[in-house]
Amino acid sequence: MPEMPVALLRVHAKRSFETGRLLVAARVGIVVVPLGAICARETGAYARCTVVAALLVTMAIVVRWRQWRGIRAVDAGLLTGIIPMAAALLLCRFATEWPARAALGICAGTGFVAGMLAARSTLAVLNAEWPEWASASLVAGLTAALGCVGIGFGTAVGAAIGVATGTVVATQLPRHV
């Protein structure tokens, strides 16, 4: 059997390594796809939920694949983004005739809490710098928007703005309290 040049072996090793990392990163779809399906089923906004779920799964895969602590950042974002998503889905289920401002306030308020939790959890657990907490907050914002988009586009934007605001506030607080 002929020997392979070292450079060719390195290329094959790098390709195998990156393929493995991408496959591990793509496992987040096991969580995100059902979240998108729940959103679509509960709200009836199939197209909007599909678009937001596609953005969320794409962002989660990229962060998990390309960032050193991306898996933890995405996990923190998903766990904290579930708060406003669940609140919005409960609104859709039990309070179908809520005024738009009340729904926006709930999505933005729970988004703010999610942003605070996402940033604080990544700062505390990971001792993270801006790429990790920003990624966790972006994932939390997209997860929040996934639930709120069923109520309306404005509430999804409100949830995302709430997450961003909560993140900014959380990063300005002292780390060791």
> Would you say residue 38 has pLDDT above 60?
yes
Specify the pLDDT at position 127.
61
pTM: 0.80
Specify the pLDDT at position 132.
75
Average pLDDT of the chain, as a whole number? 82
Judged by average pLDDT, the poorest of 12-16, 128-132, 148-152 is: 128-132
* Ramachandran area for residue 176 (φ above 0: left; ψ -120 to 50: alpha; else beta): beta
Question: b/e map of 37-65 (b: 16 or more CB within 10 Å)?
Answer: ebbbebbebeebbeebbeebbebbbebbb
